[in-house]
Structure 1
């Protein structure tokens, strides 16, 4: 009994609960272990960053490692195949070649400690959006995938790009007497002008090689720019040009000079002269940003007839409104004009690729002057979208690739994320896929897009459509009770499944889409109408049901800004012309006044009454001129104030 009594206290002591002091000591021990692990992790990151720096790789070590691991798991790039200009017709989309080119990292990006966040594995381009989870610590990649005809990495030289895309077009123009257009699009500083200058040099050399000894062919070159809605001849000291359409529907650039060249050296000299006169401005994104669309046309003639034409277009650098908000009024209006013309070009190419009955060429001067290269039965078009590799430019890069993707509108392949092997840790794993991922990104449905606002639900879309239909029907249906809202179910289909069944909804497509189709059947008479319709559908993603974005400008504000910018350019032109005319007329009146004074002072006999009457008439003429010029000046000042107020009211400009 004594042994059992003594054993009970020992059993009670072995099951003793830990005291508060024990808990505090355990917490301190765990905290010390976590701090030690964090210090070890920081040391490892510093060592990894040092090793990366020795290899020329900069940026966040975790993201660099995650991107490197992702690239190691991908298959090898497919070989590039030259653009087949003889394949298919417009209905098959073979007349359009869309390419993406990634440039190397620049000194400014290296100094800013940016790292490479774009992967090009032909024909796929993947943008790695480096993000943090809601805890602010865990890192993951949001990969956005695009598929094009060609994807050129930074290791591909301009000669290879030319041989793959542009050399077949030069051969098509020189030997097969066709029309071809090559244009470069992208953000400022992404390599558009660098790429296009290399293409121009090689095209000038190959044009004469392909023409050969045909003495009946005469080669001519013209070079002009479209700046602020105005055309200027770069081979004639920026002489002002007019773009007009004749009764046959042909678009003519009035007074455009064309230099006849006999060899490739003369052709290169003319192209270099035009490039030196291009309009450039310093922007936040680039020190020397091209602010005009430069169009270099190499024309082959047999007598007066044009038998071939190659148009090489270096588009102006695209920028978001956030990058130009702090700029001067001139840069803001330039950006608005650039975005409008880029939108018009995209819509025209999309209409051609889908074989639409109407193509809105009149929406901008850029599309008007390129109309001849698009509508001819024997024409080809190639687009080179240039992107920056830095992680700080991922938004710009995605917008550029979206633009090119919308132009091509290729069918989305199977998602690559579904076939990817599982990750060993959570650092490289994205959150669960979003059901409403944009269909315009090939494979993007499996990657999150936290920057995109959530889409409206199907019920919100139905209510919005019903409200618009109710406004059109009037009071006739006002007494009808609303349809009962279905109760949510756990096994409800995803948004992608629901979106495919939107056709039976009464009143679909929306009124904006029907209005656009009706207007396209009639033709676009107002250049702002295309921008208004595009703005009403939201920037970039034209096929999505978008939410009401409180942070973005309402469509009416965007329309009003574009109208103000258009009228601003017109008022500026009228003011400058009126001022020049007044100076010329004043010079003539000044000469006449000098003769009158000489007669009055030098002659003994003079008619003072005639002198007074004529001087009074001259003063009246000057007063009328000054009043007219002052009126134009007031109107122009009012337009400037309107533009500045509208620019301040918009939180961001849509990027097209």
Structure 2
């Protein structure tokens, strides 16, 4: 295993580490040659690595050199197992203490993001994507924790698995038949992904949350992942015809049956509140409207012939308050379950984000990216993808420098990632910049490295 790595071991809150992964040349790229690049260690207060890349633009012999922004650089000889050991393995102990860690794969189309995060071989241990390798390690650790002879099935630890993709402004639940979901900001200031609405008996309205599947073995999770990923959308990019055109967000959370049932109770209490809250609103509006009338001039004025029934309004509001209290009690129970965990790992999360490929249509110096035939819709999606990635950079910039206002509302992508930035706590956030060494992809590779170096410098 050969990994260029900095010696910086300092960690602090709101820090995002940036790594670079060079993929191998494909068979068709061998004849065109490899971009010359080298890693350079820089000695200063917070040691990091620079990358120097030889120019591929005719007439320009000056290499581009990044600022000292990267924590480690993995070469084409490093397989997924090496990437896991370097980047993800150090986070496992934090997850087992209840922390949250997030990992973003950024790069142009065809640079190896999906291979890194998800992998294409679900059996070969050295080729497992980071999410599967992490879940395998977590299951092994959870089995060791649970081998204390306890017979309480409700306390048995497993992994809650959820997976959705973002396409334009809509989320799609890949564990629920790719059902369309809505990204909304709630009254609590948090971003919620709401699924389908179901009408129940008694006027109840259940708004389904994003599906979280409880998995109790690694094999079960791997099978769920394989089936759900088959529904992910692909299309033509500026590099190839089968590019991921969505941002995929995969979350692993340490759960048990007691926690799952407590959360289901919250959804049930919320469904009971909906008709009661609607009735209270309807009664208030009805009484207020009866207390008004139109004057001869057409203006709304108080109706002297009707006295607003405030008692009726108050009774409806009191009933609403009782149901709101039931919701609050259910939410408190969830917190109690989490806080009563003797081991301390319940609720620990790992979030893996396979970002859609960045689009680079033309570069300075007259060199253009390889263009495939794209439909107008695919070109529009490419623009939206770049908008999302620019918004992500701005959020990381504000978050890392501890600004009072972080622009999460810039795009649906940054809205849904809000929880994972805000909830990192003493965990970590990591960006993996995947790049191609092929000379024909030099413009896109250079842009990816520039993006990564800006993020790395901002958060260092």
TM-score when normalising by structure 1: 0.47
Match of 2:139 among 208, 223, 242: 208
Residue 164 of structure 1 deviates from its aligned partner by: 1.3
Q: Structure 1 131/318 Cα, relative in aligned 2: closer, same or farther at 3 Å? A: closer
- Comparing 178-187 with 277-286, which one deviates more in the overlay? 277-286
- Comparing 231-240 with 154-163, which one deviates more in the overlay? 154-163
For 2:360, the equivalent position in structure 1 comes to 320
Match of 1:96 among 9, 13, 16: 16
Give the secondary-structure state (helix, strand or coil) at the position aligned to 1:140. Answer: coil
Give the secondary-structure state (helix, strand or coil) at the position aligned to 1:151. Answer: strand
Match of 1:357 among 404, 411, 423: 404
Residue 372 of structure 1 deviates from its aligned partner by: 1.0
What is the distance in 2 between the residues matched to 1:269 and 1:398?
37
For 1:310, the equivalent position in structure 2 comes to 350
What is the distance in 1 between the residues matched to 2:23 and 2:192?
36
Residue 402 of structure 1 deviates from its aligned partner by: 1.1
Q: Structure 1 328/250 Cα, relative in aligned 2: closer, same or farther at 3 Å? A: same
Match of 1:223 among 131, 146, 163: 163
What is the distance in 2 between the residues matched to 1:77 and 1:237?
40
What is the distance in 2 between the residues matched to 1:272 and 1:207?
19
What is the distance in 2 between the residues matched to 1:345 and 1:209?
34
| Alignment deviations for residues 207-236 of structure 1 (CA, whole Å, 9 cap, x no partner) | 112323344534210111001211001111
| Alignment deviations for residues 27-51 of structure 1 (CA, whole Å, 9 cap, x no partner) | xxxxxxxxxxxxxxxxxxxxxxxxx
Match of 2:234 among 280, 290, 313: 280
Give the secondary-structure state (helix, strand or coil) at the position aligned to 2:248. Answer: strand
What is the distance in 2 between the residues matched to 1:251 and 1:141?
46
1:143-292 → structure 2 map (5 Å cutoff): 143-147=64-68, 148-173=70-95, 175-197=96-118, 198-211=129-142, 212-214=144-146, 215-255=155-195, 256-292=210-246
Instruction: Judge conservation of contact 1:105–1:116 (CA < 8 Å) in 2.
Output: no
Aligned length: 324
For 1:648, the equivalent position in structure 2 comes to none
What is the distance in 1 between the residues matched to 2:377 and 2:58?
38
Give the secondary-structure state (helix, strand or coil) at the position aligned to 2:395. Answer: helix
For 2:393, the equivalent position in structure 1 comes to 346
What is the distance in 1 between the residues matched to 2:442 and 2:402?
33
When the two chains are superposed, the root-mean-square deviation of aligned CA atoms in Å is 2.5
What is the distance in 2 between the residues matched to 1:274 and 1:126?
39
Give the secondary-structure state (helix, strand or coil) at the position aligned to 1:321. Answer: coil
Structure 1 portions without partners, runs of 5+: 1-75, 134-138, 413-656
What is the distance in 1 between the residues matched to 2:67 and 2:82?
21
For 2:421, the equivalent position in structure 1 comes to 374
| Alignment deviations for residues 242-290 of structure 1 (CA, whole Å, 9 cap, x no partner) | 1222222122211311111001111111111222211111334123111
Residue 186 of structure 1 deviates from its aligned partner by: 0.3
What is the distance in 1 between the residues matched to 2:383 and 2:134?
32
What is the distance in 2 between the residues matched to 1:79 and 1:397?
20
Instruction: Judge conservation of contact 1:130–1:141 (CA < 8 Å) in 2.
Output: no
What is the distance in 2 between the residues matched to 1:181 and 1:411?
15
What is the distance in 2 between the residues matched to 1:390 and 1:144?
18
What is the distance in 1 between the residues matched to 2:348 and 2:378?
37
| Alignment deviations for residues 32-90 of structure 1 (CA, whole Å, 9 cap, x no partner) | xxxxxxxxxxxxxxxxxxxxxxxxxxxxxxxxxxxxxxxxxxxx975566x96xx5423
Does residue 1:301 correspond to 2:267, yes or no? no
Q: Structure 1 315/411 Cα, relative in aligned 2: closer, same or farther at 3 Å? A: closer
What is the distance in 2 between the residues matched to 1:385 and 1:196?
12
Q: Structure 1 205/121 Cα, relative in aligned 2: closer, same or farther at 3 Å? A: farther
Q: Structure 1 243/78 Cα, relative in aligned 2: closer, same or farther at 3 Å? A: closer
| Alignment deviations for residues 160-205 of structure 1 (CA, whole Å, 9 cap, x no partner) | 11111111223312x1101111010001111111111211220120
Q: Structure 1 77/373 Cα, relative in aligned 2: closer, same or farther at 3 Å? A: closer
- Comparing 321-330 with 265-274, which one deviates more in the overlay? 321-330
TM-score when normalising by structure 2: 0.65
Residue 114 of structure 1 deviates from its aligned partner by: 3.3
Q: Structure 1 237/78 Cα, relative in aligned 2: closer, same or farther at 3 Å? A: closer
1:55-94 → structure 2 map (5 Å cutoff): 79=5, 87-90=10-13
1:403-482 → structure 2 map (5 Å cutoff): 403-409=451-457
Q: Structure 1 312/140 Cα, relative in aligned 2: closer, same or farther at 3 Å? A: same
Which has the larger share of strand? 2
For 2:317, the equivalent position in structure 1 comes to none
Give the secondary-structure state (helix, strand or coil) at the position aligned to 2:106. Answer: strand
Which has the larger share of helix? 1
What is the distance in 1 between the residues matched to 2:427 and 2:3?
30
What is the distance in 2 between the residues matched to 1:191 and 1:179?
25
Does residue 1:394 correspond to 2:442, yes or no? yes
RCO comparison, higher one (Cα < 8 Å, 6+): 2
Instruction: Judge conservation of contact 2:17–2:459 (CA < 8 Å) in 1.
Output: no
Q: Structure 1 150/244 Cα, relative in aligned 2: closer, same or farther at 3 Å? A: same
Give the secondary-structure state (helix, strand or coil) at the position aligned to 1:400. Answer: helix
For 1:38, the equivalent position in structure 2 comes to none
Q: Structure 1 165/398 Cα, relative in aligned 2: closer, same or farther at 3 Å? A: same
What is the distance in 2 between the residues matched to 1:403 and 1:409?
10
